């Protein structure tokens, strides 16, 4: 019988560490998306760089991340990871295609 309480305590500690890791990941993702959003707004509104069509598609994938991750951190929700990852992957694919077009214009 002494094994069971020790096992429960170890499991509880492992779960607490996992949750701390998830919140740190969400916080870092929020900071990255906020910096990307503010940077793109600065470049288009203050520096007067006109974004191309693919830049707009990348922004469409990035801008909702700030609201999504902020709401997830406030409500302590862990299930937004799928939505956030989906948006990030879509934006990343568009970004890779955009970089390929800039590097090899004949594509």
Per-residue pLDDT at 6:
47
pTM for the full model?
0.72
Closest by Cα among 42, 83, 39, 40 to 64: 83
**pLDDT tens per residue across span 46-96:** 999 999 999 999 999 999 999 999 998 888 887 888 888 899 999 999 999
What pLDDT band is residue 17 in, cutting at 50, 70 and 90? low
Say how far apart CA 43 and CA 78 lie, in whole Å. Answer: 32
pLDDT, tens digit, 9 for 90 and up, residues 18-60? 556 666 778 888 899 999 999 999 999 999 999 999 999 999 9
Token pair listed for 13: 């500690």
pLDDT at 57: 94
Cβ proximity of 18 and 24 under 8 Å: no
């Amino acid at each position: 019988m002494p094994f069971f309480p020790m096992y429960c305590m170890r499991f509880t500690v492992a779960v607490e560490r996992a949750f701390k890791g998830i919140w740190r990941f969400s916080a870092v993702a929020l900071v990255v998306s906020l910096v990307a959003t503010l940077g793109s707004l600065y470049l288009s509104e203050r520096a007067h760089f006109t974004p191309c069509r693919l830049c707009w598609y990348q922004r469409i994938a990035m801008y909702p991340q700030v609201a999504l991750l902020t709401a997830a951190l406030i409500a302590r929700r862990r299930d937004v990871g799928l939505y956030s990852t989906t948006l990030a992957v879509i934006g990343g694919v568009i970004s890779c295609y955009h970089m390929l077009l800039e590097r090899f214009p004949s594509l």
